[in-house]
Amino acid sequence: MQLTELTERIHQNIPISQHFSFHLVEWRNETLSVRSPLEGNSNDKGTFFAGSQVALCTLSGWALTTLLAEEIEAENVDVVAAETKIKYLKPLESEATIVATGKNTSQFQRRFGDKKRAVLSLSVKIKNHLGEVTTEFTGRYFATQKA
């Protein structure tokens, strides 16, 4: 699947996502990179709003899980966030580069192929324009094949 197609699907199915002005940049080696500008996501201090950060991490995890599941089953995949945790390390004062990485991707894909349902554990890091990690997110996402 093309990343632009998945971005459009996210915007159509999760309307609030349109406000974050993000785009999926690269998907390689079970890692998804996403970018989002500071403009439109800033708070009253001029830094990246925490609510935007958690939403972008959640969406990035959802997109990564969807991409991995759709490698096995091209259609009818349903993904939900089951558990998430976020830690803000420092203020983000620039564009956000979000990097989502699966922790058990081969096991996830094997189980999804066999059982048509699986759980993916993943981590997401947000980096500033200098490449410094400003935010850490962990999650577990549940994928099933729709009936």
Rounded to whole angstroms, how far apart are CA atoms 67 and 73? Answer: 10
pTM listed for this prediction: 0.94
Q: What average pLDDT does the segment 13-29 reach?
A: 92
Q: Is 15 helix (H, G, I), strand (E, B) or coil?
A: helix
Segments forming the whole domain that contains residue 73: 3-145
Q: Alpha helices of the chain — where are they, by DSSP H? A: 3-13, 50-72, 105-115
- Specify the pLDDT at position 147: 75
We report the CATH number of the domain holding residue 81 as 3.10.129.10
Q: What are the pLDDT digits (tens) for 77-96?
A: 999 999 999 999 999 999 99
Domain count, the chain: 1
